[in-house]
Structure 1
Amino acid sequence: MAGGLFTPFILKRHIFFYLSFVLLHISKTTYATPPPSAKFEPRDVYMISCGAPGASQLDDGRTFRSDPDTASYLSTSTDIKISADNPPHASSGPLAPIYLTARVFTDQSTYSFYIAQPGRHWVRLHFFPLPNSHYNLSSATFSVNADSIVLLHGFSLPAIPPSPVIKEYLITTQSNTMKLSFSPLKGSVAFVNAIEVISAPPGLIPNTTSAAGTTTNGQIDLTNNALQVVYRLNMGGPLITPGNDTLSRYWLPDTTFLKLPGAAAAAWVPVNTIKYPDSGAMTPLIAPPTVYSTAQQMAQSNVTDARFNISWEMAAEPGFSYLVRLHFCDIVSKVLNNLYFNVYLNGLMGVPNLDLSSLTMGLAVTYYRDFVLDSSSISNSTILVQVGPASTSSGNPNAILNGLELMKISNAANSLDGFYAAKPKNNSVTKMVISAIGLAMAAIAMALVFTMFCRRRCEKPGWERKSSFSSWLMPLNASQSTSSFLSGYSKSSRSRFGSTRSKNGFSGIFMSGTYAVSRVFTFSEIQKATKNFDEKAVIGVGGFGKVYLGEIEDGTKLAIKRGNPSSDQGMHEFLTEIELLSKLRHRHLVSLIGCCDEKNEMILVYEYMANGTLRDHLYVGNGGGETGMPVLSWKKRLEISIGAAKGLHYLHTGAAQGIIHRDIKTTNILLDENFVAKVADFGLSKAAPSLEQTHVSTAVKGSFGYLDPEYFRRQQLTDKSDVYSFGVVLFEILCARPAINPALPRDQVNLAEWALQWHRKGQLDKIIDPTIAGTINPDSLNKFVDAAEKCLADYGVDRPTMGDVLWKLESALQLQVASPPIAESSGSGSGIEMPLKKMASQKNGLTGFDSFNDRSGTQIPPPLDQGR
């Protein structure tokens, strides 16, 4: 299942679980025949067993037509059909007959299917690299397109996968033809064992749905997007095969994905007790009753005041948004209105206080809810779905989930596999056009060479050119740099930038009026530095793209941020970073080393910060940070606070016109090898108001928990908005807990409000990070908290400047250093304490939480997995 593959046979190690489940309940539970409303007769049905001499009958009752019967659908230069030399076996058992033959393509080949009913269609591609003496399918590398949509790019399979691989998609077509094109990599082949193209029921996937963490008014249009089914889970129940599903789908058991299996307990009822709403808006086509007849509920839910969540964690691909469909059916309650629970997606609140009784007006009545997780909210290449009791729950708290579907949404490049556009059709007209363009370009090039030769012959010896600077410093226009991603962007944006390189290809100037980047890297240099963007070199993922650790020839390590050129937001942040960082140099700002503008790429190169983010070091022993990572001492925390304050103070006062960062948080404060703090990520930054202005009016952007409430209310940005965010950072440094934790009681969710409450009570010592609580000089603590409190004033006019904050923090450090040692270790001289060997999960009256790197600027830390 790694890498988002939908392989329903890989669960061999859970066979014992399935058999036990079935044997235990076989006398009570049967797979009931779906009611008449579940019947669906698709207009378009193509099921092909590629390379097979005759029809293939599957155990679930489906019949795949033989390849000769469908030969008229296929356009290929070579007719290659193969079968296995010896009947192969997957690790999950004997193979279905459709995996014993295959079609092989040595050149681009296309299946064309007539579509009688435009709309969404299932497209299922079946792959198994069966052993064959003529073709080594385990080394096949190829791409697959559905019309203009990229389904697979550079796809390959291991020599002997544990089971066949099924790639399942929902594609919308408005024409009367759908084309599936297979394109092998040069020197390789493409293959496919079986293909399904089948009409999907109207209304199965809505055209619009809500974004997770928004109100119901925050609708996202999915009309023109293709979807890839990545996971389909049956909570608390066994594997459901196509023969027992209303639309021939697989539903996998959820046990593999439970983050903490002990937090969940399976529940079930007889299938015939499941009811669908009388309105007809929901039928068994959405999900069969076998999905709703089982569920996962909270283990030991009868314990009064039990407060923990059930969590499922699934792999996700950064750079893509996901449609999440959750299926609910209250099969655990005895009376109505007794079950209230919250739903979280990657820490965002999906549904608060969900009451199924009020929505379905009954028990054991089916219900589902759709959400979209934006690509910016995908953290650490995972999606975390959680259910837990609502804080308003009365009686015995509980939470349930019956089923889950996770679908990847096609990106701006119309792709479901990276940022790759579909290749043009390989036909004679295209070749003629390309040839004509090539001849024209060659003629133009010859004319230019001839003109330059004639001009050089006419020049007088020693004649000095009038240009005051070398021509390679001049900004290029769009016609001069067709490979640049800027050439495809708006004219106004292109006019600000040019891309040039010196003759040796290793240095250049990236000009924009009055500022320049000292080095422009070639794309080949970037590839070499990152080992061709090796996934093992990824050190961070955010809304802009991935960040790689790179190393150039002289051994210098660099942080290389590779952006998405198809995103206007990414382009804006790219330009903002260059514009600001090329003008700024400060010890406490992350330095921009250079950039790359080739092959439609947006790549920024920064100095490498060896110790990562400040946040990574605050949550050691509390579910965050790496095992054995040292705990920051109070002295080191003060030094880091001072360094970040100096960087922010320079932004506000050191530039010709002040700069407002607008996204100050602990993940945007990085630490170098000596734990020197540097402010990073200037993609949301804005120029401060001029002397004639009091504020900048702009759309609200930033991170939940750090956002200035006055800026949020009035949409008027000032440098005091950064001061507020920095105040939250100071309390996060002191307390070592996230700025927002929606799993906690309401009065504790927001760190800033919670900390101020305890401070006003004079009991701030109760919420200090226990790993440093006994090492802080009281006077130093008072000075630090005084600075943080003033930063969090409701109105910007009442907040201090960063210069004032810096002065208080330096005073706090002096008081700490001047005081006698209080059980504080200097460690290795870095100002950090020795690594923790063990820490109790209980902290400040709260339980531990997961590390959460909200690089997008819009995420909330996840709720608890389990409490006490």
Structure 2
Amino acid sequence: MKSALQVSYRINVGGPTITPEVDTLSRTWETDGSYNIFPQGSMSVSVSNKSIKYSQENGVNLTPLIAPNSVYATCVQMKDTEVMQPKFNLSWMVNVEESYSYLIRLHFCDIVSTSLDQLYFNVYINGIEGVEALDLSSQTKALSTAFYMDFVIDSSNITNGSILIQVGPPNLQLSTTNAILNGIEVMKMSNSANSLDGFFSVDGEYIGPNVTSKVMKIIAIVGLALAVIAFLLLAIMYIRWLRRPLDWEESRSLSSWILPLHSRRKKSCNTNLNTSDSPKSKNGGGHFVHYSPRGQEKFFHFAELQRATNNFDDKRVIGEGGFGKVYLGILEDGTNVAIKRGSGGSGQGMNEFITELSMLSKMRHRHLVSLIGYCDENSEMVLIYDYMSNGPFRSHLYGSNFSPLSWQKRLEICIGAARGLHYLHTGASQSIIHRDVKTTNILLDENYVAKVSDFGLSKAIQDKSQVSTAVKGSFGYLDPEYFRSQQLTQKSDIYSFGVVLFEVLCARPVVCPTLPMEQANLADWVLQQYRIGNLHKMIDKNIVDTINHESYKIFSQIGVKCLADHGVDRPSMGDVLWHLEHALQLQIASSHVDIPLIDQSTNEYERNDDHLHGVTSDESANSSSILFSQMVNFQGR
């Protein structure tokens, strides 16, 4: 399509105003100061005009007529090239007319790199990714060489009368992180009436598109589609009516015979009328209780759950996640339950509902949260669990007013969670990978017994195999090997659990942007401190004076192995469980005999470094031989 162009902006990014006297085509280039909306993250760079070269690569004859060398000799780059936040972009905004499309020409010249293949960055126009990981080296084959790219943004993508141009680092593992921009040209394109000044000619005649006819066509198409859908729905309801069960009135709802899901459930209930699990509640006064064909989970009517939560009162909310809110519910018999209701705007929705329902219907374990029932009535997605009165493990580590847990209690909770994950990995016909192991998904009951929860992202695979899948999980806990390869294995859970172990030891968030950059990520900082022998300085001050040195050493060693960069170097969950039991027994023993605690002034590497799979010194072996005589033959369930 041919269009007329009208220049709206020419901007010399990072440099001074260029007057017509020094431009190759007598153009004027403004400085970017009034358009740069993130100057605090920007740094101007300039070189000699004579150092700029013009590329003849890829059949493109680039000359100074495109832009003078003074445009390419200046640029803006990221001020902090070691920034961790991937959404840190250099940004410029220009005001435009919303009713027009625009051609945007961006000028680039790598005058900041010392060698080729160092600079990669993304380009965005109004939040739309125009180029991913732009590599100037592959385009120009040399440094300080001019290059430009053209982008067209449609009028439908222009909001608030402005265009936002951004460059920023890609999500790649790079030794350096940077982005640059040398120049910007914004040109208005003629509209569908071949005009640069609205839809009226000089004599006042309207020459734009026939808006009325388009609107009528759209209304006609939408009306026809709605009529077809309504006819199909009426036909389906008529067929369902003809095939309705004889006792349909007992369900107190038309949905029992209109909706296929409820029809199947009703049929399933009828087949069990002679069993001990009668579909009619003994205490419900004739109220029907449906059972899932998947297992023994109770089907709840939505009205029951509304009563249990006081119509889902926000005062009853005890948690919230990607799937939706979790409410404290009180059933008619007085039982406290946790009710997780899917959010209408949830991006995870039905897939997580089905995954968690199918997973928990097949599994029963002391250290997995128990599913009591579900409701899929009236397009609702609700799961009902045992209520965990002490909430998530994280709340007892930091960020709340709970009394700090002792080291022994923390070990017992870690062991419980490890047993639950070990069961997932080995206790079923197919290995189940949780994919979202974190302290908020480890819940504590009234006796502080740990129970793994939230199986919406779980994946079943063949034992010890791997599966290609989209990367899902929580930032800070995510296995870097899984992130790089998209190959999911049991060892991905091992890495996440290793992060949990050090979150328990240090009682701090796994990602803390307010800390210095090298300390912001807990896993990276732990490995760095462990290598230089300073990990003991990171121990939670509430337990540092009570933790036994040998218990701490076994715990930290197995935790570090969980954080190995390659999954093949990580232990199995059975190995992790064994060493946590070992650490617990050493801690218990220290409370009965005089065993040294951690010396804060001593470097860890100045001590005897025992092997991971047992204590080798005679003193340690003698003190623990009785304690571990029953653990030598330990096997995970």
Q: Could you tell me which residue of structure 2 aligns to residue 637 of structure 1? A: 410
Letter in 2 for 1:761: I
Aligned position for 2:371: 592
Q: 1:341 to 1:505 in 2, by over 3 A?
A: farther
Give the 3-state SS of the residue equivalent to 2:379 in structure 1.
coil
Task: State the Cα distance separating 1:509 from its structure 2 match.
Answer: 1.5
Map 1:439-450 onto structure 2 (within 5 A).
none
Compute the displacement of 1:580 (Å).
0.8
Task: Name the counterpart of 1:603.
Answer: 382
Q: Does 1:648 align with 2:421?
A: yes
Partner Cα distance (1:763, 1:635) in 2? 22
Distance, in Å, in 2 between the alignment partners of 1:715 and 1:771 is: 39
1:659: which partner in 2?
432
Shift, 1:498, TM fit: 8.8
- 2:497 alignment counterpart: 726
1:612-643: CA deviation from partner (whole Å, max 9, x where unpaired): 21122211xxxx22xx3211211111111011
Structure 1 pair 343/553, CA: closer, same or farther in 2 (3 Å)?
farther
* 2:336–2:387 Cα contact (<8 Å) kept: yes
Superposed CA offset, 1:312-334 (max 9, x none): xxxxxxxxxxxxxxxxxxxxxxx
**Of 449, 472, 497, which aligns to 1:676?**
449
Q: Which residue of 1 aligns with 2:190?
A: none
The secondary structure found in structure 2 opposite 1:774 is: coil
SS in 2 for 1:599: helix
Q: Is 1:793 aligned to residue 530 of structure 2?
A: no
Instruction: Mark the CA change 1:495 to 1:793 in structure 2 (over 3 Å): closer, same or farther.
Output: farther
Contact preservation (8 Å) 1:777, 1:822: no
Q: Pick from 517, 528, 531 the counterpart of residue 307 of structure 2.
A: 528
CA gap of 1:297–1:608, structure 2 versus 1, over 3 A, is farther
Contact 1:565 1:602 (8 Å CA) reproduced: no
What amino acid sits opposite 2:315 in the alignment? K
Give the equivalent residue in structure 1 for 2:482: 711
In 2, the alpha carbon distance for the partners of 1:763 and 1:584 equals 42
| 1:555 aligned partner | 334
Q: From 527, 531, 535, give the equivalent of 1:760.
A: 531
For 1:156-203, what per-residue CA distance to the aligned partner results, in whole angstroms no more than 9, with x for missing partners?
Answer: xxxxxxxxxxxxxxxxxxxxxxxxxxxxxxxxxxxxxxxxxxxxxxxx
**Higher mean displacement: 788-797 or 598-607:** 788-797
Q: Within 5 Å, which residues of 2 pair with 1:236-255?
A: none
Query: Counterpart amino acid of 1:523?
Result: F
Higher relative contact order (CA 8 A, sep 6+): 1
1:537 to 1:499, Cα distance in 2 relative to 1, 3 A: farther
Taking the TM superposition and a 5 Å limit, the aligned residue runs for 1:402-421 are none
C-alpha RMSD over aligned residues: 4.8
Whether 2:521 is the aligned partner of 1:750: answer yes
Amino acid at match of 1:681: D
Structure 1 counterpart of 2:541, which letter? P
* Matched residue type, 1:786: Q
Where does residue 548 of structure 2 map in the other structure?
777
How far apart are 1:338 and its partner, in Å?
11
Residue equivalent to 1:350: 87
What letter is aligned with 1:727? G
CA change 1:544–1:495 in 2 (3 A) is farther
Task: Give the alignment partner of residue 507 of structure 1, picking from 268, 271, 289.
Answer: 289
Superposition pairs of residues 342-421 of structure 1, within 5 angstroms = 349-351=86-88
Amino acid of the structure 1 residue aligned with 2:470: A
1:822 Cα deviation from its structure 2 partner: 11
Shift in Å, 1:569: 3.3
Gaps of 5+ in 1: 1-36, 38-277, 283-288, 299-335, 362-367, 373-391, 394-426, 454-471, 473-477, 488-493, 824-868
Taking the aligned partners of 1:807 and 1:672, their CA distance within structure 2 comes to: 23
Relative to structure 1, the CA distance from residue 528 to residue 354 in structure 2 (aligned partners, 3 Å threshold; closer, same or farther) is same
Aligned pairs (5 A) from 1:183-262 = none
Residue 527 of structure 1: CA displacement?
Answer: 0.5
- The amino acid of 1:577's aligned partner reads E
Instruction: Quote the offset at 1:797 in angstroms.
Output: 2.0
Aligned counterpart, 2:459? 686
CA distance 1:618–1:482, shift in 2 (3 Å): farther
Deviation at 1:436, TM superposition (A): 13
Q: Which residue number corresponds to residue 589 of structure 2? A: 818
1:594-622 residue CA offsets vs partner (Å, 9 max, x unmatched): 00011110100111111221122211xxx
577, 580, 584: which one pairs with 1:806?
577
The 2-side partners of 1:729 and 1:496 are apart by 40
- Cα distance in structure 2, aligned partners of 1:644 and 1:583: 19
Give distance in 2, aligned partners of 1:671 and 1:764: 28
Q: Deviations over 1:422-458 (max 9, x none)?
A: xxxxx9xx99x9999999979985x779x969xxxxx
* Aligned residue identity for 1:717: L
Name 1:420's counterpart in structure 2. Answer: none
Equivalent-residue separation in structure 2 for 1:687 and 1:440 (angstroms):
36
Residue 743 of structure 1: how far off its partner (Å): 4.0
Asked if the contact 1:538–1:548 (Cα under 8 Å) also holds between the matched residues in 2, the reply is: yes
Partner SS state of residue 631, structure 1: coil
CA pair 523-339 structure 1, distance change in 2 beyond 3 A: same
Q: Does residue 509 of structure 2 align to residue 738 of structure 1?
A: yes
Cα distance in 2, alignment partners of residues 795 and 532 from structure 1: 49
Aligned to 1:853: none
Greater fraction strand:
1
- Number of the residue aligned with 1:285: none
**Partner Cα distance (1:740, 1:533) in 2:** 32
Q: Which amino acid aligns with 2:508?
A: R
Using a 3 Å threshold, how does the CA distance of structure 1 residues 574 and 702 change in structure 2: closer, same or farther? same
Q: Report the TM-score, using the length of structure 2 for normalisation.
A: 0.54
Q: Does the 8 Å contact 2:554/2:583 carry over to 1?
A: yes
1:676, CA displacement in angstroms?
1.2
Matched to 2:317, the amino acid is V
Q: Which runs of 5+ in 2 are unaligned?
A: 1-7, 9-27, 42-74, 94-105, 109-123, 129-175, 178-222, 271-278, 281-285, 595-637
How many angstroms apart in 1 are the aligned matches of 2:420 and 2:383?
20
Shift of 1:505: 3.6
- In structure 2, the residue corresponding to 1:350 is in which secondary structure? coil
- The change in CA–CA distance for 1:580 and 1:732 in structure 2 (over 3 A counts) is same
Q: Residue 725 of structure 1: SS of its match in structure 2?
A: helix
Query: Which AA in structure 1 matches 2:442?
Result: I
- Give, in angstroms, the shift of residue 675 of structure 1: 1.5
Q: Which secondary structure state, in structure 1, belongs to the residue aligned with residue 404 of structure 2?
A: strand
| Residues 527-580 of structure 1: CA deviation (Å, up to 9, x unaligned) | 001111111111112111111111111211111111146767311111111111
* Structure 2 equivalent of residue 538 of structure 1: 317
CA contact (8 A) 2:356 2:455 kept: yes
- Structure holding more helix per residue: 2
Map of 1:574 onto structure 2: 353
Tell me the equivalent position of 1:57: none
User: How far apart are 1:742 and its partner, in Å?
Assistant: 3.6
Name the CA distance, whole Å, in 2 between partners of 1:749 and 1:440: 57
| Separation of aligned partners in 2, 1:589 and 1:600 | 27
1:689 to partner: Cα distance: 1.7
What's the CA shift for 1:794?
Answer: 2.2
| Alpha-carbon shift at residue 683 of structure 1 (Å) | 0.8
* CA distance in structure 2 between the aligned counterparts of 1:614 and 1:360, rounded to whole angstroms: 52
Percent of aligned pairs with the same amino acid: 55
2:298 aligns with 519
Other-structure match for 1:61: none
SS in 1 for 2:299: coil
Cα deviation code 1:667-696 (max 9, x no counterpart): 111111222111001011111324xx7312
Residue 353 of structure 2 aligns to a residue in which SS? helix
